[in-house]
Chains A and B, each alone.
Chain A
Amino acid sequence: TQLLEQSPQFLSIQEGENLTVYCNSSSVFSSLQWYRQEPGEGPVLLVTVVTGGEVKKLKRLTFQFGDARKDSSLHITAAQPGDTGLYLCAMANTDKLIFGTGTRLQVFP
């Protein structure tokens, strides 16, 4: 059973558009991480959010942690082809590190 559901599953947009990716769970997160994976590589950490309602910015990427700590979103402003990749949310569940179902983003020039 996948504890973390991401939406949308696929996203194909033009350069310059904005987009939002969501990560939801029926469980409360102690913390949540977002990773990006490029083809042929392992995922790489983008950010960790810990506090309910927390907002973190990483250049054009804005990460938000839901007030109840059961959901998170990733917003990309003015997407660029270099943003193309698989975006994964992840949470530590006791000793397990569980990843979401993933959102595959394609940004066309």
Chain B
Amino acid sequence: NAGVTQTPKFRVLKTGQSMTLLCAQDMNHEYMYWYRQDPGMGLRLIHYSVGEGTTAKGEVPDGYNVSRLKKQNFLLGLESAAPSQTSVYFCATWWVEAFFGQGTRLTVV
């Protein structure tokens, strides 16, 4: 039982490149979230989903897109990476409490 798995764990991108972060869960939870965490700060909500086929914007959605084609997967895309998107990204599912992945450390140079 893996819980919430994020891939990749680390990535370096050049400005303007694109990439997709994958979040996979085996807990059958409806609610899934993508956050970013900058040094010394809390978690800021990027996008979220309340079920398969649904997505919605969070606090800081600009520059990101998401898709939830299957209940167990929530994808976060960066179409044209910028240095301001350097951060640690966390995926979470939620049912009574939040369950987090291990995070993806992304650096944009």
Residues of A within 8 A of B (CB): 1-2, 4, 6, 9-10, 33, 35, 40-45, 48, 86, 88, 90, 92, 95-102, 104
Contacts and interface: CB of A to CB of B under 8 A. Distances in A.
- Give the secondary structure class of B's interface: strand
- Give the secondary structure class of A's interface: strand
B82 interface: no
Nearest to A33: B97
A104 B42 CA distance: 10
B48 A101 contact: no
Interface of B: 4, 31, 33, 35, 40-45, 48, 50, 56, 58-59, 90, 92, 94, 96-103
B97 A101 contact: no
Nearest to A6: B42
A97 B42 contact: no
B92 A97 contact: yes
A74 B5 CA distance: 30
Given A42-B92, A43-B100, A90-B98, A99 B42 contact: yes
23 contacts: A4-B42, A40-B102, A40-B103, A41-B100, A42-B4, A42-B101, A43-B43, A45-B97, A88-B43, A90-B98, A92-B94, A95-B48, A95-B50, A96-B45, A96-B48, A96-B58, A97-B45, A97-B94, A98-B59, A99-B35, A99-B43, A99-B44, A102-B40
Given A41-B103, A101-B42, A102-B43, 17 more contacts: A2-B42, A10-B40, A33-B98, A41-B100, A42-B4, A42-B100, A44-B100, A45-B98, A88-B43, A92-B94, A95-B48, A97-B31, A97-B48, A98-B45, A101-B41, A102-B42, A104-B40
Contacts of A86: 42
Given A90-B98, A97-B94, A42 B103 contact: yes
A92 to B, nearest CB: 8
A2 B58 CA distance: 11
A102 B45 contact: no
